[in-house]
Amino acid sequence: MWILPLEVCPAVPAALWLVLGILGIAGPYLWGLPLAVLPVCAVMAVALVPRAPSGWRWLAGFFPLGLGLSWLHLAAPWQTYVQLLPRQECGAQIQAVVVDANYAGDALDWVDTPSRVAVRLRAVRFTDTGDWMPCSGKVLLRQRFPPENLPYGARITATGTFARPPTAVLPGELDYRRHLRNEGIQHLFLVREVAALEGVRGWRTVPAAAYEWRDRCAEQLSFNVNGPVSRDVLLAITWGYDQGLDADVKARFLRSGAIHLFAISGQHVAILASIVLLFARLAQVPLRVRYGALPLLLGIYVFLTGGAPSAVRAWLMLSLWSAGKALLRAQLALNAVALAAIVLLVGNPLCLGQSGFQFSFLIVIVLILGCRLASAVPGVLAERSLWVPTAFRTHPLRRGLWRWAVQGATVSMLAWFGSSGLVAWTNSLFIPGSVLVNAGICCLAWFALLTAVLKALCWPILSLMTTMPDRFLGGSLDVILQGIDALAAAGATPPASFAIVRPALWLVLMYHGALGYLLLRAGAARSRTLAGVAAGAALLAMALPPAPTNHGAVFSGGTAATPVVVLAAPAPLGPVVINPGDYTQGRMASTWLTTHGWDTVDTLILSGTDSLRAGGMKPLSGRVETRTLILPARGPYGATVQENLQAHAKSGGRARTLSRPERTSTASGVAAGTRVGDLQVNAWRERGATGIEVLRDLPARDSRTRVTVEETGDIRVERTSGPGPTSVVLLRPSLRYAYAELP
């Protein structure tokens, strides 16, 4: 027997049929599924028909609807500019309207101006004297540094180049081209010059004025909040401004499982709904009025924050629930969630491939199905107190706080179980500490948003008389936000959070399938026990430490002069990274390390300090920690190296400089060297070629790696481990990024 009442939840089978239709067409594009997925989805859709209530079987029409919508969005006939392009990558001039609602003020000088802005095209031409050709479509502008502030609704004329977004090179790496395509963007436009910038016209003046008011509100909220991290976190959790957050803060919240706090989502909408209902109840607003006005107030907030899919989903679900309250009619939460999914997927079926969409709906469904458990646990733990007659019970406040704390911890645990598989698949992290960390952060976030609302309401009323309330509320926000940051820092360190090898897809599907069976099945104790054992075994298999390894990888291509070489080693030794490379190479190396279960690098060796050889330090340090940093013998060091060197020293890491070698090297022409623990590093130059040699004393066998940059630009990587043969990787200069495994 299943606990899913399809008779009163017609949106659930409709959503399932719609998802099957989307998978049938878009599955090969979204996840690389074989083309045979279409007949499989068709068979599953037909098999679902007899299980649906007889009165709702006409909803099977959502399956062909999903097929048609997926084909339509993949073809995207409304992107008319694509037919005008002579090539996929070409120079052009465009006339466009900015549609990104980023911060456009100048008072918050610590909020960085985004270099990437989405625009809708109005016209395009390919020569300076050619005629403008009207067109439509959405592209992503990428500006040079320093970027120009482009407010919402501004009309621009820009000169640049159309380019295709890069695709994923590594397994587990973010496919940027697919990510943008899921948002309706097929091309980047690399801006050389913004020739003209005009003001807002037409109907866009209304949302532009609303966004301008939002910016002023954000500026007021940041007054009297003195901590720099507190200000950044405050603007991120209230309005979604994450441009001011540095890489260390984002990495800390990612590793603690609290990164969702920086994306306006269901948590923010639910907290704001509870605050609005609290104020309405204190003001004795009639029940039907307060619940009738709630969707409008929440809708305004979701619109001002940019309308993220997770926030829209929560708004739709809460609106249906609130409408039922206002009309005095019962509403099932699962039906509301399914209806919200249908609305979002009909608007853009490709959002099914977005991890945010998957996280949002998966966690909410698990919470709804597990709500009985969350309600029953406090009663089970406090069963003996229920034996006492009501008239003789004492300490009602303490019992209420205890019940609230137990329910919060149970809900946090359910959310952790619901998201653990996806977190392991997308981030290669296992975060058991997030159960308590997220419970505490959610509690503090509620008080932070409540204080922010009070601060926004008090400022226009009391600012003319005294600034004391604003200073008090700003100081309170500072304390609360520092507490949130402290919890995130505690949850980001082992054993609360640690890196794991990216699990196989079948293991993730097995875990979520067993968990779904456990929550959906009523009775059948034996089969539910087996499902629980299967889910626990899959979770344990994902959390196992990586197997000892001695292989590595080489990342080359782009504008970097030297490749990035990663040399893994058996535990407890950490990997060695030679050259962080440019930004893209550093990101690829960090992805390879994290998907193989490494969150700490033993040694990072720099052969140069320019952006082409050290620009990858920023993405690399954002995801993995470095114990020892080896710098070139000669300075001066650039801004990127200086910034990372300061952060490295603050975290307690060691820094060494290549100097006179401490032992004889097998390479002639050694110019500089240093020794750190079991590692000897030598830099050398010979007959126009330069290179780095790494000698490492490993248990039972030593290893030797030599990276040579020839005078012709060719790169040669030689590696010898113990008495075995030498493996050689030869790389030719290329603008295309690539990687190769080292045995």
State the DSSP string of 66-95.
HHHHHHHHHH-TT-THHHH-SSSSEEEEEE
In this structure, the answer to whether residues 179 and 242 fall within a common structural domain is: no
Instruction: Give me the residue label for tokens 């969150």.
Output: 599
The whole-angstrom separation of Cα 119 and Cα 189 is 10
What pLDDT, on the 0 to 100 scale, is given for residue 548? 60
Residues 24 and 126 in one domain: no
Contacts of 463-471 with CB under 8 Å at 24 or more apart are 467/224, 470/223, 470/224, 471/224
User: Dihedrals φ, ψ of 340, to 5°?
Assistant: -65, -40
Please check whether residue 142 is in contact with residue 116, taking contact to mean a CB–CB distance below 8 angstroms: yes
What is the identity of the amino acid at 692?
I
Q: For residue 667, is pLDDT > 50?
A: no
Q: Which of 250-259, 498-507, 649-658 has the lowest mean pLDDT?
A: 649-658
| pLDDT class of 665 with cuts at 50, 70, 90 | very low
Question: In terms of domains, do 175 and 262 share one?
Answer: no
The answer to whether the bond into 64 is cis (omega within 30° of 0) is no
- Determine the pLDDT at residue 84: 94
Q: Does some domain include residue 4?
A: no
Selection from 342, 335, 394, 334 nearest residue 367 by Cα = 334
Give the three-state DSSP class for 111.
coil
Amino acid letter at 738? A
Confidence of residue 340 (pLDDT cuts 50, 70, 90): confident
Above 90 in pLDDT, residue 450? yes
Domains contained in the chain, number:
4
Do 289 and 407 lie in one domain? The reply is yes
Compute the half-sphere exposure of residue 162: CA atoms within 13 Å on the CB side of its CA: 23
Task: Give residue 63's pLDDT.
Answer: 96
DSSP-assigned letter for residue 561: S
The answer to whether residue 410 scores a pLDDT higher than 70 is yes
Last residue of a domain, which of 213, 246, 261? 213
- In terms of domains, do 468 and 404 share one? yes
Beta bridge partners of 685: 690
Amino acid (one-letter) located at 157: T
Q: How far is CA 277 from CA 35, 224, 407, in A?
A: 50, 28, 20
- Of 126-140, 219-233, 388-402, 527-541, the one with minimum mean pLDDT is 388-402
- DSSP secondary structure string for all residues of 240-301: ---TT--HHHHHHHHHTT-GGGGS--HHHHHHHHHHHHHHHHHTT--HHHHHHHHHHHHHHH
Q: Which of 146-150, 193-197, 440-444, 736-740 has the lowest mean pLDDT?
A: 736-740
Residue 609 is given by DSSP the state: -
Tokens of residue 361, six digits: 């709906």
Distance CA 502, CA 170 (A): 12
pLDDT of residue 663 exceeding 50, the answer is no
What mean pLDDT value characterizes the chain? 84
pLDDT band at residue 664, thresholds of 50, 70 and 90?
A: very low
How is residue 54 annotated by DSSP? G
Please report the pLDDT score of residue 132 as a whole number.
95
Residue 666's pLDDT is 45
- Report residue 466's pLDDT band, with 50, 70 and 90 as the boundaries: low
Q: 370 pLDDT exceeds 90?
A: no
Residue 494 in this model has a pLDDT that exceeds 60: yes
Of residues 303 and 646, more confidently modeled:
303
Q: Which of 504-518, 653-667, 710-724 has the lowest mean pLDDT?
A: 653-667
Report how far residue 189's alpha carbon sits from residue 165's, in angstroms, rounded to the nearest whole number: 10
- Are residues 493 and 569 both part of a single domain? no
**How far apart are alpha carbons 309 and 330 in whole angstroms?**
26
DSSP secondary-structure letter at 711?
Answer: T
Alpha carbon distance 313, 319 (integer Å) = 10
520 occurs within a structural domain: no
| pLDDT at 145 > cutoff 90 | no
pLDDT at 271: 92
Q: Which of 213, 245, 262 is the last residue of a domain?
A: 213
Instruction: Identify the band that residue 550 occupies on the pLDDT scale cut at 50, 70 and 90.
Output: low
**Whether the predicted pLDDT of 55 surpasses 70:** yes
* Tens of pLDDT, residues 700-738: 566 777 777 665 667 777 777 766 677 777 776 677 788
Give me the pLDDT at residue 167, please. Answer: 86
The model's pLDDT over 177-191, given as tens digits with 9 standing for 90+, comes to: 998 998 889 999 999
Tell me which DSSP letter residue 77 carries.
Answer: T
d(CA 244, CA 255) in angstroms, rounded, equals 19
Residues of the chain with pLDDT > 70: what percent? 86
Q: What is the CATH number of the domain that holds 559?
A: 3.60.15
Flag whether pLDDT at 743 surpasses 60: yes
pLDDT at 98: 94
pLDDT higher than threshold 70 for residue 83: yes
* Three-class SS state of 92: strand
Residue 495 has pLDDT above 50, yes or no: yes
Domain-located, residue 222 = yes
One domain, residues 431 and 563: no
Q: Same domain, yes or no, for 18 and 108?
A: no
User: Is the same domain home to 36 and 116?
Assistant: no
Higher pLDDT, 90 or 724: 90
What is the pTM assigned to this prediction? 0.85
Distance of CA 349 to the CA centre of its chain: 20
| Residue whose pair of structure tokens reads 């402290």 in the numeric block | 486
Judge whether residue 524 has pLDDT over 80. no
Is residue 509 situated within a structural domain? no
Percent of the chain with pLDDT over 90: 30
Are residue 206 and residue 305 in the same domain, yes or no? no
The amino acid at 651: S
Regarding whether 360 and 332 lie in a shared domain, the answer is yes
| Domain, as residue range, for 142 | 81-213
Return d(Cα 400, Cα 341) in angstroms, integer.
Answer: 35
625 part of a folded domain: yes
Residue 513 lies in a domain: no
Report if residue 544 sits inside a domain.
no
Highest mean pLDDT (candidates 119-128, 166-175, 372-381, 451-460): 119-128
- What pLDDT is stored for residue 603 in this prediction? 87
Q: Is the pLDDT of residue 54 over 60?
A: yes
Last residue of one domain, picked from the residues 75, 104, 120: 75
Reading the block at residue 526, the tokens are: 């034996």
pLDDT digits (tens, 9 = 90+) for 266-304: 889 999 999 999 999 999 999 899 999 999 999 999 999
* Residue pLDDT, tens place only, 669-703: 556 677 777 777 777 667 666 777 787 776 656 67
Query: Both 224 and 303 in a single domain?
Result: yes
Axis-axis angle for helices 62-75, 333-347 (nearest 10): 40
Q: Is the residue at 3 inside a domain? A: no
Q: Are 693 and 663 in contact (CB under 8 A)?
A: no
First to last CA, the chain: 52
Most confident among 504-518, 607-621, 669-683, 714-728 (mean pLDDT): 504-518
Per-residue exposure over 412-438, b if at least 16 CB sit within 10 Å of its own CB, e if not: bbbbbbbbbbbbbbbbbbbbbbbbbbb
pLDDT attached to residue 662: 46
User: Residue 30 — pLDDT band, cuts 50, 70, 90?
Assistant: confident
